[in-house]
Amino acid sequence: MAPIIVPKLTNKKAGNRRVSSTAVPSNSDSLVAIRDVTFKYGARTILDNLSLDIARGKVTAIMGGSGCGKTTLLNLIGGRIKPSRGQVLVDGLSVPDLSKKELFALRKRMALLFQTGALFTDLSVFENVAFPIREHTKLPEPLLRHVVLMKLNTVGLRGARDLMPSELSGGMARRVALARAIVMEPMMIMYDEPFTGLDPISKGVIAKQIRELNDALGITSIVVSHDVVETCLISDYAYLMGDGRIIGQGTPAEVQQSKSEYVRQFMDGRAEGPVPYTYPATDYLDDLLGGGAR
Amino acid sequence: MNVLRVLGGIVVHGIERLGRGTMFLYEVVAGSWVLVPRFYLVIQQVFAVGVLTLLIILVSGLFVGLVLGLQGYNTLIKFGAEDSLGLLVALSLVRELGPVVTALLFAGRAGSALTAEIGLMKATEQLAGMEMMAVNPLTRVIAPRFIAGVIAMPLLAAMFSAIGVMGGQMVGVGLLGVDSGAFWSQMQNGVDFHEDILNGVVKSFVFGIVISGIAVFEGYDAVPTSEGVASATNRTVVYSSLAVLGLDFIMTALMFGGI
């Protein structure tokens, strides 16, 4: 794999501006602090009085089954949605209370890697990675080219610079999105299901790159995934979510050894357990023999 | 009672969407000043919505002109007024057919493409990705497309009218034997720049605002699924076409009087 070379970029607008009016004291070891957060979508409770901390400079895994609220949590941290109740603090700033301008200033210091990659389909690989630099800096073209090629080289795709997103495999698209995520050198990267739909080689490469980038750039990483093996391999700390709550936490080894029924059901991939697998329904026999409405 | 409730729901939903659409467009227009130093973004979209729509506009304009020439000649010759064919063709095109037919074609070709493109960008999380990169999609994606539509529409309508006049001339002068000098001089004498041409331009400008506004709003507001994008595209064509025809009547009444 290509060595990780980190070119330093200075953001002309973002800097490390703190918004004093909305700054809230938090544990200095925690970059993200979630305090008693409840999030409801209509009548459905997605997150239920959830609290957790994301340590600075570490890779923190958030694992859990589909629909347990993992992506909702990332959206709360990124300020895309607001909690019904509770506090979401990022670097001491209360995210739901930020103005649009302040939120954009904070977002310049964080990155979210979407499950789909979310590459711009009308731009080439090079232009996709260059996009945030063009939008937020006035870097001269030769320097911009160097930065983009270095980031693409970091994810092993320097040779694919002229390809369009439609010409990339799923794994390659995810790696281009990773290059784009690190191009502005954020303080934190959130990965939403980075391993979904990838072959074992791509999974391993992406996992290794997440770990190496975290250490080389000195950033904080949040990996949301239901891929237990890959996620435990690269993370320093892990939270296990179920039913919108934290059902287990600790180092990956501790979580894997946990005796909790919730944790065991997820780790062992069992349908039976405290977390319901089947959606609530009427009696099966009645349903089949009832002959009523569909 | 149930019917009343459903009707009330439809009306409230319609008003709510109209309000949301107006607020959306206000935000787009208010934030579009950032495009001044990056006008190339608008130029790119003028190519996409204008230049790529040119072929259908020119072909349609030519055929409309040919038909106008033929129908006009057959009507005017009954009164011995076939020399006025140029005036008839020009006024029909510049006042009405140019702006209206161009707007309908523009809604079908460019408007639907705008909605589908923006809707798919939403469905594939490209707009969300942009927001997370601290880039406002309203100013980066929506505003250039909206402004490009407003710029392109009057230009396309002017080209439609111009090629339509050429079509009328081809049939009238070329095939049916109308005197060339009479054809052009009657047109020159009868068509007023302010009364006819400028009002036509104003009409097509208003249609550009309406169609582009509907198209970008429907795309941005689309449910992010394949079915949602398809419905949004459908709504763009239907709403735009109805809005164009309704507004045309109102503007014609205001500009040319008679009511």
To the nearest whole Å, the CA of A190 is away from the closest chain B CA by: 11
CB–CB contact B133 A111 (8 Å): yes
Query: Which among B124, B132, B134 has the least Cβ separation from residue A116?
Result: B124
Identify each DSSP E strand in chain A by its residue range: 30-41, 44-55, 59-64, 85-90, 93-94, 110-113, 188-192, 220-225, 237-242, 245-250
* 3-class secondary structure per residue, chain B: CHHHHHHHHHHHHHHHHHHHHHHHHHHHHHHHHHHCCCCHHHHHHHHHHCHHHHHHHHHHHHHHHHHHHHHHHHHHHHHCCHHHHHHHHHHHHHHHHHHHHHHHHHHHHHHHHHHHHHHHHHHCCHHHHHHHCCCCHHHHHHHHHHHHHHHHHHHHHHHHHHHHHHHHHHHHHHHCCCCHHHHHHHHHHHCCHHHHHHHHHHHHHHHHHHHHHHHHHHHHCCCCCHHHHHHHHHHHHHHHHHHHHHHHHHHHHHHHCCC
pLDDT of residue B258: 63
3-state secondary structure of A291: coil
Nearest C-alpha neighbor of A74 from the set A36, A43, A34, A22:
A34
Residue A241 phi/psi, 5-degree rounding, is -110, 150
Q: d(Cα A184, Cα A131) in Å, to the nearest integer?
A: 10
For residue A251, what is the enclosing H or E element? none
Contact across the interface for A135 and B126, Cβ inside 8 Å:
no
Could you tell me which residues come within 8 angstroms of residue B188 by beta carbon, excluding any fewer than 6 positions away? Answer: none
Residue pair A11/A137 in contact by the 8 Å Cβ criterion: yes
CA dist B188 → B79, B181, B185, B203, B255 (Å): 21, 10, 5, 21, 21
| Conformational region of residue A35, where left means phi above 0, alpha means psi within -120 to 50, and beta covers everything else | beta
Query: Is residue B71 within 8 Å of residue B176, measured between CB atoms?
Result: no
- DSSP structure string for A180-225: HHHTT--SEEEEESTTTT--HHHHHHHHHHHHHHHHHHT-EEEEEE
Instruction: State whether A104 and B124 contact (CB < 8 Å).
Output: no
Contact yes or no for B134 and A120 at CB 8 A: no
Q: Do A118 and B128 touch (CB under 8 A)?
A: yes
Q: Which of B125, B134, B140 sits opposite A114 (nearest CB)?
A: B125
Q: How many CB atoms lie within 10 A of CB B200?
A: 24
| A107: nearest CB among B124, B134, B140 | B134
Spatial separation of the C-alpha atoms in residues A264 and A246, rounded to whole Å? 14
Question: Does the predicted TM-score (pTM) go above 0.80?
Answer: yes
Mean pLDDT by 10 residues, chain A (294 residues): 44 41 54 91 86 92 84 91 92 91 92 90 94 92 94 90 92 90 91 85 86 90 87 90 85 84 78 75 84 66
* Selection from B156, B48, B174, B178 nearest residue B104 by Cα: B156
Give the closest-approach CA distance of A109 to chain B in angstroms.
9
Q: Residue A292: its pLDDT value, please? A: 64
Where b means 16+ CB within 10 Å and e means fewer, A37-58 reads bebeeeeebbbeebebbbebbb
Among partner residues B124, B136, B140, which is closest to A118 by beta-carbon distance? B124
Query: In the prediction, which pLDDT does A294 show?
Result: 67
Chain B residues whose C-beta sits inside 8 Å of any chain A C-beta: 121, 124-126, 128-129, 131-136, 140
CB contact under 8 A, A111 and B132: yes
Out of B129, B134, B136, closest to residue A114 by CB: B129
- A90, A114, A187, best to mutate vs chain B, most B CBs in 10 Å: A114
> What is the pLDDT, as a whole number, of residue A18?
44
Which distant-in-sequence residues (6+ apart) come within 8 Å of A42 by Cβ?
Answer: none
Residue ranges of the domains in chain B?
2-255
A105, A107, A136 member nearest B132 (Cβ): A107
The dihedrals phi and psi of B202, each to the nearest 5 degrees, come to: -60, -45
Q: How far off is chain B from A259, nearest CA to CA, in Å?
A: 38
- Interface test with chain B among A9, A90, A121, A123, by most B beta carbons within 10 Å: A121
- Looking at residue B235, what is its pLDDT? 95
- Answer yes or no: do B131 and A107 touch at CB < 8 A: yes
Contacts of B134 in chain A (CB under 8 A): 14, 104-105, 107-108, 135-136
Report CB contact under 8 Å: B126, A119: yes
Strand order in the sheet with A85-90: A44-55, A30-41, A85-90, A93-94
d(CA A182, CA A171): 17
Give the chain A residue whose CA is nearest to the CA of B132.
Answer: A107
Distance CA A212, CA A234 (A): 9
Interface predicted TM-score (ipTM) of this complex, two decimals: 0.80
The stretches in chain B having pLDDT less than 70 are 258-259
Query: The tokens of B209 are what?
Result: 């605002």
Q: Is A161 helix (H, G, I), strand (E, B) or coil?
A: coil
Instruction: Identify the CA nearest to A54 among candidates A32, A27, A22, A87.
Output: A32
- The H or E element containing residue A229 is helix A228-234
